[in-house]
Structure 1
Amino acid sequence: MIVFTLILFHKTYAQNEFNHNIWDQALLLNVSEEGQVDYNGFMRDSSQLYAYFKVLSDNPPKENWTRDEKLAYWINAYNAYTIKLIIDSYPVKSIKDIKAPWDKKFFKIDGEWHSLGELEHKILRKFGDPRIHFAINCASFSCPVVWNRAYTADNVDAALDEQTKKFINDPTRNTITESVVNVSKIFSWYKKDFKVNGGDVKDFINRYSEVKITDQPKKGYKDYDWSLNE
């Protein structure tokens, strides 16, 4: 079954540009619209998941790919390999139960071993788009929810906007009212990433928030819940 899936996908890839159909199918089957992940489901469908890992590994972005093609590839790769990290150690209560989860080199792309930290800090953050922080997922409750569709060159820009807006206006992850502003620690950890176009973190949040932050409210950061997002 795995061989058949890979042969079929490689044939499709040879005829068309790279696509993420296998990952899209796996997400639809195993992630709810609210972002709850069925890790047991991913393990049951492991042939599909490992077929996608094989395609990712064998087909890294090329120089002639567009920015959006590269961005979609690396976001999907980060999220897919995060799933792999969890199911390789499952059951766990938190990604932090795994030793050095972001430094561990446990997957290959184009013949080289990589870690999730490398994908995030050396590749994804280099795109200079702070919205990626709301697309990549650390398998934890306080993280932005996993989108149950694959990112593609055609949808990535609109999807990043939608995921950013959804996260910022989610009261379980950010409290933004006229009197209190208590936001995710993501805005503290990656503060410099949000300083774009001459603005700061507040300006970035206000671009997407339904309630605008002024200078008067009491401000702080929410405790980060690292429990597994299942």
Structure 2
Amino acid sequence: MKAPRAVIFVSLFLLTFQSKAQTKFDHSIWDQILLLNVTKDGKVNYGGFMKDSSQLYEYFTLLSQNPPTEQWSKEEKLAYWINAYNAYTIKLVIDSYPISSIKDIKDPWNKKFFKINGEWYSLNDLEHKILRKMNDPRIHFAINCASFSCPVVWNRAYTGANVESALENQTKKFINDPLRNTITEDVVSVSKIFSWYKKDFKIDGKNVVDFINKYATTKIINQSKKGYKTYDWSLNE
């Protein structure tokens, strides 16, 4: 016996609705916690995150139980994994707080200390096995290693809707930040991020300097002048 057309229509509607609902992730909890505990210039109140730990752990539960699927757009996946990296970096720090540097923690980036969809991950897993393989070098200015010389933490959550403009803004902000990159006619001293991940910036036949110049207010003219700043690993609080 065939099902009535109305029943078939409702079933198809529900399946379509569920499919669409599963292609987006609600980062509003993370957005609220960031607004409360990160200043506009990226200083992090780790004590505040500890006080808001119930909300933070609610967000971890959402991350763990709702990983990206093939149906998600690239923008939604980028937002999910960037937020996950930053949120779990906060967790790593507050689990050992007070500390003066993330390097006070034993092997912080290889430590498998959180689960997503039942699988244990480290921060290096998220960065090297997932985010870098998405072939967008701007992620290096969105993820934060809890250190002063890192790109500043944006005090909003990345979403599928804002991630493109946010990555552009974060990249431009970092490259033109005189505390993290010095680019003048006489002195060129840039972040070691451009050395550690140089191959990520070599896209479409261009090099690291080409990438920097795309966003820099003052362009690098003489590449032979280029050097690297000492990386400050002190906690970004």
TM > 0.5 between the two? Answer: yes
Counterpart amino acid of residue 28 in structure 2: N
Query: Does residue 188 of structure 2 align to residue 198 of structure 1?
Result: no
User: CA 1:119–1:172 in 2, change beyond 3 Å: closer, same or farther?
Assistant: same
Counterpart amino acid of residue 231 in structure 2: Y
**What's the offset of the Cα at 1:19?**
1.2
**What's the offset of the Cα at 1:218?**
2.3
Counterpart amino acid of residue 51 in structure 1: E
Task: Please name the residue that 2:215 is paired with.
Answer: 208
**What's the offset of the Cα at 1:229?**
0.1
Task: Please name the residue that 2:196 is paired with.
Answer: 189
What TM-score does the superposition give when structure 1 sets the normalisation length?
0.92
The 5 Å alignment of 1:162-173 reads 162-173=169-180
* Alpha-carbon contact 1:73-1:151 (below 8 Å) kept: yes
Query: Does residue 106 of structure 2 align to residue 99 of structure 1?
Result: yes
Kindly, what percent of the aligned residue pairs are identical?
75
**What's the offset of the Cα at 1:14?**
6.5
Give the RMSD, CA atoms, in angstroms.
1.4
Counterpart amino acid of residue 203 in structure 2: V
The 5 Å alignment of 1:132-151 reads 132-151=139-158
What is the CA–CA distance in structure 1 between the aligned matches of 2:157 and 2:69, rounded to whole Å? 19
Counterpart amino acid of residue 204 in structure 1: F
Task: Please name the residue that 2:15 is paired with.
Answer: none
* Alpha-carbon contact 2:149-2:232 (below 8 Å) kept: yes
Partner of residue 178 from structure 1, selected from 185, 193, 202: 185
Task: Please name the residue that 1:25 is paired with.
Answer: 32
Query: Does residue 49 of structure 2 align to residue 63 of structure 1?
Result: no
* Alpha-carbon contact 2:110-2:124 (below 8 Å) kept: yes
Count of aligned pairs between the two proteins: 218
User: CA 1:16–1:71 in 2, change beyond 3 Å: closer, same or farther?
Assistant: closer
- Please identify runs of 4+ aligned residues in structure 1 that moved more than 6 A: 13-16
SS of 1:226's equivalent?
coil
* Alpha-carbon contact 2:141-2:151 (below 8 Å) kept: yes
What is the CA–CA distance in structure 2 between the aligned matches of 1:67 and 1:53, rounded to whole Å? 21
Query: Does residue 231 of structure 2 align to residue 224 of structure 1?
Result: yes
The 5 Å alignment of 1:71-82 reads 71-82=78-89
User: CA 1:216–1:129 in 2, change beyond 3 Å: closer, same or farther?
Assistant: closer
Counterpart amino acid of residue 145 in structure 2: C
* Alpha-carbon contact 1:141-1:226 (below 8 Å) kept: yes
Query: Unaligned stretches of 5+ in structure 2?
Result: 1-19
Query: Unaligned stretches of 5+ in structure 1?
Result: 1-12
**What's the offset of the Cα at 1:28?**
0.2
**What's the offset of the Cα at 1:217?**
6.2
Task: Please name the residue that 1:37 is paired with.
Answer: 44
**C-alpha deviations, 1:142-162, integer Å up to 9, x for none?**
000000000000000000000
* Alpha-carbon contact 1:141-1:225 (below 8 Å) kept: yes
Partner of residue 153 from structure 1, selected from 139, 160, 181: 160
Task: Please name the residue that 1:113 is paired with.
Answer: 120
What is the CA–CA distance in structure 2 between the aligned matches of 1:196 and 1:148, rounded to whole Å? 29
Counterpart amino acid of residue 34 in structure 1: D
SS of 1:227's equivalent?
coil
What is the CA–CA distance in structure 2 between the aligned matches of 1:68 and 1:120, rounded to whole Å? 16
User: CA 1:206–1:58 in 2, change beyond 3 Å: closer, same or farther?
Assistant: same
Query: Does residue 97 of structure 2 align to residue 90 of structure 1?
Result: yes
Task: Please name the residue that 2:11 is paired with.
Answer: none
**C-alpha deviations, 1:43-83, integer Å up to 9, x for none?**
00000000000000000001100000000000000000000
* Alpha-carbon contact 2:79-2:159 (below 8 Å) kept: yes
